Every structure is written in C-alpha cells, then in structure tokens.
Amino acid sequence: MRTSILLIAASALALVSCASTGEMARLTGEKATFHYADYAGMPVEGFQAYRINGWTPVSRTQLVVWTGVNDAYLIKVWNTCQDLQFADHVGVTSTVNRVTTFEKVRVGRDTCPISEIRPVDIKRMRADRKAAAEAAKAG
C-alpha cells in the first residue's frame, strides 16, 4: 500500500514538473505558441458564435478563436492558408451565428476551409499556468 502511494506521488510530481517546464517556456516567451492542443477536447461539429472576441495563430494550419472569456476553440484549416501565422486579421464565416466544419477562415485573399474544431479548456489551462507560476516563484 505504501509503495503504491509513493508511486502515485512520484508520478504526480513528474507530471507537474513536465507541465511546469512547458509553462515556464510560455511565461518566459521562449515559445510563442503555447500548447493549446494539450487543452483541446474531442472534435465537435461546430459552436455558437454571436461574435468573435479575438484569435491567436498557433501554426500554419491552426488558430484559436475566442468567443468569450472562457470560451475558445482550436480550429484546424486546410493547408491552403499561406499567411495564417503572420496575418493582422482573419475572418471566420458562419451560418446563423454558428461556425461549423462547413465554414471557412479568411486570411487576406486566401479562403481556408475548416477541417476540425476542438473546444479548449481555458479554465484548466489558466489553473495550470497559475500553478506553474507559483512553482517558479517558490523554486
């Protein structure tokens, strides 16, 4: 019993140190694209978006779209977007205020079909960031 408790504690510590290493890279600006995919859920057909509050480029084919303070979606587009990482602004089409995989992301003159939408657990991501920041201050 004691061995299993020690094993669980060691595993949890290893997970926290891995998470804090990635988090510290984000906090120090070493890696501009935080691992949103680590906090993304299973793919969904779409989401309700009365307005887009912001967006963050993640890679050449991925961006995070914010629809609220705690509502964000990782959107993967076809490999036809050439300037997604460097765009000043993007547009997302919607039908009756709903963004689905039938919609497109517009970047400059490019129209990029959406291939996947995944909700991002922003509350969990913020909690991990806070824990990593506190661990960095303590250590």
Which residues does 14 contact at the CB level (< 8 Å), separation at least 6?
A: none
pLDDT at 47: 97
- Tally of residues, the chain: 139
**Mean pLDDT (whole number) for 42-51:** 95
Structure-token match 């806070």, residue found: 130
Number of helical H runs and strand E runs in the chain: 2, 8
Residue of 2 and 101 predicted with greater confidence: 101
What's the rounded Cα separation, in Å, for the pair 24 and 41?
Answer: 23
Residue of 47 and 25 predicted with greater confidence: 47
What's the rounded Cα separation, in Å, for the pair 134 and 139?
Answer: 9
DSSP 8-state code for residue 77: E
CA distances from 77 to 27, 28, 62, 70 (A): 27, 29, 6, 22
Assigned token pair, 69: 């303070």
pLDDT at 134: 85
Residue of 128 and 8 predicted with greater confidence: 128
pLDDT at 45: 96
- The C-alpha torsion from 57 through 105 and 97 to 37, rounded to 10°, is -40
Closest C-alpha to 48, from 108, 117, 112, 106: 117
**Per-residue confidence band for 29, with pLDDT thresholds at 50, 70 and 90:** very low
Residue of 84 and 27 predicted with greater confidence: 84
The verdict on pTM exceeding 0.75 is: no
**Per-residue confidence band for 68, with pLDDT thresholds at 50, 70 and 90:** very high
